[in-house]
Amino acid sequence: RAVGTEPHFFDRNYEKGLEWYRNVMPKTLEGQITMEKTPSYFVTNEAPRRIHSMAKDTKLIVVVRNPVTRAISDYTQTLSKKPDIPTFEVLAFKNRTLGLIDASWSAIRIGIYALHLENWLQYFPLSQILFVSGERLITDPAGEMAKVQDFLGLKRIVTEKHFYFNKTKGFPCLKKPEDSSAPRCLGKSKGRTHPKIDPDVIHRLRKFYKPFNVMFYQMTGQDFQWEQEESDK
């Protein structure tokens, strides 16, 4: 059972106390798993310690994608709410002539996964963290979901037959085979068309992220092949 909205307990609402958090959570029966999703926890310094002090055996799931695409997607989201912000190119650099990337800009900082993971590994063993590939979630949703179900100790109920690819949105949507209700797709904030970004900026960002990506692969023991993806393009 999952909370519908992001509770933001371990970052913004922590002072409201554990009772508040409990009340936000859905009622679960024995044998059910309670889940919530708040992406900003991953980059919040206090979150690992706070979660660990509440329940140190909590299982954590982190969906990661190519940090360059992630940064552009992040910018696209902000742009839809604030159309008058500077261009991606302007925000991405401290100094465009020297090619200095501005790592303090949150859209870029979030993608330095190794940095954030280091914080989590001080409190949680790798065995309690599952890293889901955002790319494979699109190309092979059932395969990634099989890993999630195994990690949570659940029977593999969600399989290929639960997904179909929505060409308009550009990603898979969920359908319930036994149910004739309309398929569930992610909301309109997902699958937005990204603005055209100067190829030189993308090239510089790839170079910037590469050492951090390699470090992340070593820390997780998983190769997400983000560099390979780029050489294919």
The angle at the Cα of 145, spanning 228 to 139, to the nearest 5 degrees, equals 40
Q: Is 155 annotated as a binding residue?
A: no
pLDDT in tens, 109-159: 999 999 999 999 999 999 999 999 999 998 899 999 999 999 999 999 888
pLDDT reported for residue 111 = 98
**C-alpha closest to that of 186 among 202, 220, 163:** 163
Q: Tell me how far apart the terminal alpha carbons of the chain are, to the nearest angstrom.
A: 39
Q: Is 193 annotated as a binding residue?
A: yes
Q: Where does 46-157+196-214 sit in CATH, by number?
A: 3.40.50.300
Query: What secondary structure, in 3-state letters, does 92-139 show?
Result: HEEECCCCEECCCCHHHHCCCHHHHHHHHHCCCCHHHEEEEEHHHHHH
Residues 71/64, Cβ–Cβ less than 8 Å: no
Q: Is 17 annotated as a binding residue?
A: no
CATH code 3.40.50.300 region(s) in the chain: 46-157+196-214
Residue 193 confidence class, pLDDT cut points 50, 70, 90: confident
Q: Is 190 annotated as a binding residue?
A: yes
Q: Is 94 annotated as a binding residue?
A: no
Amino acid, single-letter form, for residue 119: N
Residue 233 confidence class, pLDDT cut points 50, 70, 90: very low
Q: Is the pLDDT of residue 231 over 60?
A: no
Backbone phi, psi, residue 184, to 5°: -100, 120
Q: How many helices (H) and strands (E) does the chain have?
A: 10, 6
Cβ contacts of 29 within 8 Å, gap of 6 or more: none
pLDDT in tens, 75-104: 999 998 999 999 999 999 998 888 899 999
pTM above 0.85, yes or no: yes
Q: Is 194 annotated as a binding residue?
A: yes
Q: Is 65 annotated as a binding residue?
A: yes
Of 105 and 196, the structure prediction assigns the larger pLDDT to 105
- Residue 86's Cβ-side half-sphere holds a number of Cα atoms within 13 Å equal to 7
pLDDT reported for residue 98 = 87
Place of tokens 């190519």: 66
Residue 230 confidence class, pLDDT cut points 50, 70, 90: low
